[in-house]
């Protein structure tokens, strides 16, 4: 896999290069800031771009703005954003932006090499991977949306598990249902939330609706959250 990195910390940047290359990937560029990022992506055509949220010169939102710009210029490019802390607003902006696969992970996740590399593969393969801490903080929002009131209790449970990043098979295991039943529930959720096939990644948009418009913990019986993929 061809990977481009944009990270200001020399230690983390070089560590990522070593880790990814040892895993058999090719790091086509490793930039300390967003200067020349667009040109590097256009020239190198990476399969995945990894960016820090906070980059020079202000160390505020340069990385997020760069990621959103890449969404516009290279809509299908898989993006993995790394953050020292949970940046709730930035996470919501990225999830809401139309485009290709997305990952939002805390930098601590890099220390678990196997899990981090698995996340890299899942994102490059088309999944959306959200750090469990990001999901947990977004779930504290209390805004209500009348669309959510259309869902049955079972559909709300399924949607909460989607927001945790669980696959259909994982949801079936948690709720002791068949995968066919889960698929029917998800189709009903999409319909009630007004998400049409042309909306793109409806699974992510449905999860975002849950995250932004309901509050509280995951449903009873839900497994501990781990970084997972949503399709």
Which domains can be identified in the chain, with CATH numbers? 2-131 (3.40.50.2300), 139-230 (1.10.10.10)
Q: Is 70 exceeded by the pLDDT of residue 181?
A: yes
Provide the angle, in degrees to the nearest 10, between the axes of the packed helices 88-96 and 62-73: 0
Give residue 7's pLDDT.
96
Helix (H) or strand (E) holding 74: none
Task: Say how many C-beta atoms besides its own lie within 10 A of residue 31's C-beta.
Answer: 18
Which residue from 60, 65, 57 is spatially nearest to 32, judged by alpha carbons? Answer: 57
CA distance 217 to 200: 27
The mean pLDDT value for 194-206 works out to 63
156: confidence class by pLDDT, cuts 50, 70, 90:
confident
Q: pLDDT at residue 150 above 90?
A: no
Per-residue model confidence (pLDDT) at position 136 = 62
Cβ atoms of 102 and 94 closer than 8 Å: yes
- pTM tops 0.75: no
Indicate the pLDDT class of residue 183, thresholds 50, 70 and 90.
very high
Q: What is the pLDDT of residue 1?
A: 95
Check pLDDT > 90 for residue 159: no
Q: What is the mean pLDDT of residues 139-143?
A: 46
């Amino acid at each position: 896999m061809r990977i481009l990195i944009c990270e200001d910390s020399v230690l983390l940047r070089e560590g990522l290069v070593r880790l990814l290359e040892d895993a058999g990937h090719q790091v086509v560029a490793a930039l300390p800031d967003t200067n020349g990022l667009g040109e590097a992506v256009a020239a190198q055509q990476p399969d995945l771009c990894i960016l820090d949220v906070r980059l020079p010169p202000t160390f505020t939102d340069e990385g997020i703005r760069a990621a959103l710009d890449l969404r516009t210029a290279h809509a299908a490019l898989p993006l993995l954003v790394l953050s020292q802390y949970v940046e709730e607003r930035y996470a919501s902006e990225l999830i809401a932006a139309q485009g290709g696969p997305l990952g939002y992970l805390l930098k601590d996740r890099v220390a678990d090499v196997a899990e981090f590399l698995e996340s890299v593969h899942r994102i490059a393969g088309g999944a959306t991977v959200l750090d469990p801490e990001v999901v947990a903080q977004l779930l504290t929002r209390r805004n209500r949306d009348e669309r959510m009131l259309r869902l049955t209790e079972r559909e709300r449970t399924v949607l909460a598990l989607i927001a945790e990043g669980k696959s259909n098979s994982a949801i079936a295991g948690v709720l002791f249902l068949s995968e066919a039943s889960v698929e029917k529930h998800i189709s009903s959720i999409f319909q009630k939330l007004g998400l049409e096939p042309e909306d793109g990644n409806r699974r992510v948009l449905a999860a975002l609706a849950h995250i932004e418009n309901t509050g509280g913990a995951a449903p009873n019986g839900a497994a501990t959250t781990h970084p997972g993929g949503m399709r």
